[in-house]
Amino acid sequence: MDKYKYCNSLVKYSRFKTREVFIGDIPLGGSNPIRIQSMTTTDTMDTVATVEQTVRMVNSGCDYVRITAPSIKEAENLKNIKDELRRRGYNVPLIADIHFTPNAAEAAAKIVEKVRVNPGNYVDKKKFDQIEYTDEEYDAEINRIAERFTPLVKVCKEYGTAMRIGTNHGSLSDRIMSRYGDTPLGMVESALEFVRICEANNYYDIVLSMKSSNPSVMVQAYRLLVHKMMEEGMNYPLHLGVTEAGDGEDARIKSAVGIGTLLEDGLGDTVRVSLTEPPENEAPVAIDLVKRYSEREKLTTRIPETTYVKNPFEYSKRSTLNVKNIGSSNVPVVIADFRNDNLSLDDLEAIGYKYDEVTDKWIISDSPADYVFLGDKPTEIELPQNLSPIYNFGAWKNLEENNSAYPFFQLDEFITAENKSDTLNFVKISVKDITKDSLQRIENDESVVLVLITDNAHGMAEQRRIFFELEARDIHLPVIIKREYDDLTKDQFLLYSATDLGGLLLDGFGDGVWLASKTADTNLINRTAFGILQATRTRITKTEYIACPSCGRTLFDLVEVTNKIRSRTEHLKGVKIGIMGCIVNGPGEMADADYGYVGSGVGKITLYRGKEVVEKNLDENSAVDRLIQIIKDDGNWVEKK
């Protein structure tokens, strides 16, 4: 088997065929549709509130509903919840969410249609200790886990209950961390250890997940999981999700970067978009993501099959020339598109440049576009020095002064043109150009930046295939990824563009992004472009919030607190803050956050620096102020402008 294989095809959409697993009466995997699910945020002991929220979630589009069962009493109350739902005519399959408590899992498995266990927490050790294991000691630990885990497997087998073995990047056990580190491989091995115990008991009603708040880690882990399953003859269904995504546009973009990238390659049998919002908001977003692929398999491909040109299980940036401020070690640039508009000061403000008449200066935001494409229309506005205009070649060559502007060429037009920029020329290419000899003729031109376009509905794969071809031909020109969208809602624009650009950026492809839309407003387009770069961690321009989506374990109003922390820290460019509702989603689930705000009891908050506790059990009324002070003490605070 190809050492990098993880999907059916890298160029043609084809769903990876998994085994069918029944979750109650709604089967998952196989040839079934991609299913949608979410999780309640109510107290599981509050039967009526949980039932009513579940009803709202089902009405919003959920096929399955997950409910936390942190102890035996919550697990047993799942029966009351299920009975009341059935009495109201709702037969939605329920999933019990288990972390630390085997007895709760075994009780829940006799009631609900599926249980979810986290290998990093379930009967394994997690004290953040670094321990060197010999092979014998390591095997002994696995045997100990098998003894504790097997009773649950037997209960699930007896009652026909399915199981999700869900690894989270931030909650790997000390044993896994000691051998594999904080890596996608560690995530995969953590899950497969439990799968092998299930198989040893002839139990196969298993669903797997590899969740992370970092879309790059999440994508690499799922790919590696499928690769390992292929090697071992497994084909278990996949539950997709980016954990602790947060809220609003950023959460939708981050989720789409991770989930959408995998869906593009035909991976995924069920999806949950985790938002720090009411859970009924999640299903419509997931549905928008998933429905894009309902007809995708019918498309014909225009390019030959290929294999990966570099390791898809770890990140490495494509090596390119340095052309002005594009390519090489530069962060990706953003190009704003005004080809059909007469540029105004309001337009410039929408892309990050506000003119102050009093001082006669430009106020530049944290997310300013680097270039603006004006097509054939020269602007009468004097642009900020940081913002360079791009014109179609025909218009550019007729400018009286074009030293500060740059031309945009068709490929063949560039080859024959006599008048070119000495420093920077944008050259458009598509799949039709990739085999042309003219492309090879410009491969060493240190003034050229390629602009990669596609009109293919399976465009991410087509553009990726072109990157593969550039690598095979040893062409190291920088590349701007350009995508255009029509007739989309706001959410669809966020999700589709994040999928299409994010999937390439996660693989280290792309030195800039260029989004255009006939329906999205300019400010939304600019925010989305920078949001995609932030989510892929290729260009950091704002604070990142790693916030859990809330559940019945949450010990404070997560939405209110998240908004409170955001309002005071959103100007801290590059700082990552984890906001976790309980200790289950505490230091582990925050993964690589710089600071953490974690519920440790009713009205009590524990603050973290990285994974280290700074202060325990603070009163929640003073905890945000104390968090701010810790950031200031560390020298990471700047005042708002």
Residue 41 has pLDDT above 60, yes or no: yes
Element (H, E) at 166: strand 162-168
CATH 3.40.710.10 fits 544-633, yes or no: no
Lowest-confidence range among 258-262, 347-351, 469-473, 620-624? 620-624
Reported as a single tens digit per residue, the pLDDT across 79-101 is 999 999 999 999 999 999 987 78
Calculate mean pLDDT across residues 48-58: 97
Quote the pLDDT of residue 571.
80
- Assign 435 a pLDDT band (cuts: 50, 70, 90): confident
Q: What is the residue-averaged pLDDT of the chain?
A: 90
How far apart, in Å, do the first and last CA atoms of the chain sit?
A: 56
Most confident of 65-69, 272-276, 550-554: 65-69
Reported as a single tens digit per residue, the pLDDT across 290-329 is 999 998 988 877 788 888 888 999 999 999 999 999 999 9
Calculate mean pLDDT across residues 368-394: 92
Fold of 333-535: TIM Barrel (3.20.20)
CA–CA separation, 357 and 131 (whole Å): 63
| Superfamily name with CATH number, domain 21-298 | Dihydropteroate synthase-like (3.20.20.20)
Upper half-sphere CA count for residue 284 (Cβ side, 13 Å): 12
Quote the pLDDT of residue 641.
64
Calculate mean pLDDT across residues 544-561: 64
Same CATH topology for 21-298 and 333-535: the answer is: yes
Quote the pLDDT of residue 163.
97
- Assign 562 a pLDDT band (cuts: 50, 70, 90): confident
Q: Which residue has the higher pLDDT, 162 or 248?
A: 162
| Contact (Cβ atoms closer than 8 angstroms) between residue 510 and residue 306 | no
Quote the pLDDT of residue 583.
59
Helix axis angle, 215-232 to 184-200, nearest 10°: 40
Nearest in space to 164 (alpha carbons), one of 123, 107, 216, 105: 105
Quote the pLDDT of residue 574.
74
Quote the pLDDT of residue 602.
77
Counting residues of the chain whose pLDDT is more than 70, the rounded percentage is 94
Residue 71 has pLDDT above 70, yes or no: yes
Calculate mean pLDDT across residues 486-508: 95
CA–CA separation, 51 and 107 (whole Å): 19
- Assign 585 a pLDDT band (cuts: 50, 70, 90): low
- Assign 379 a pLDDT band (cuts: 50, 70, 90): confident
CA–CA separation, 12 and 460 (whole Å): 11
Reported as a single tens digit per residue, the pLDDT across 152-205 is 999 999 999 999 998 888 778 888 888 888 899 999 999 999 999 999 999 999
Quote the pLDDT of residue 605.
85
Q: For residue 569, how many other CB atoms are within 10 A of its CB?
A: 20
Q: Which residue has the higher pLDDT, 622 or 256?
A: 256
Q: Which residue has the higher pLDDT, 247 or 382?
A: 382
Calculate mean pLDDT across residues 447-465: 96
Reported as a single tens digit per residue, the pLDDT across 111-157 is 999 999 988 777 665 555 556 778 888 888 889 999 999 999 999 99
Reported as a single tens digit per residue, the pLDDT across 352-363 is 999 888 888 888
Quote the pLDDT of residue 195.
97
Quote the pLDDT of residue 553.
57
Quote the pLDDT of residue 589.
59
- Assign 595 a pLDDT band (cuts: 50, 70, 90): confident
Counting residues of the chain whose pLDDT is more than 90, the rounded percentage is 62
Calculate mean pLDDT across residues 495-521: 96
| Contact (Cβ atoms closer than 8 angstroms) between residue 211 and residue 268 | no
Q: Where are the domains of the chain?
A: 21-298, 333-535, 544-633
Dihedral over alpha carbons 390, 391, 392, 394 (to 10 degrees): -140
Residue 527 is encoded by which pair of tokens? 């925010």
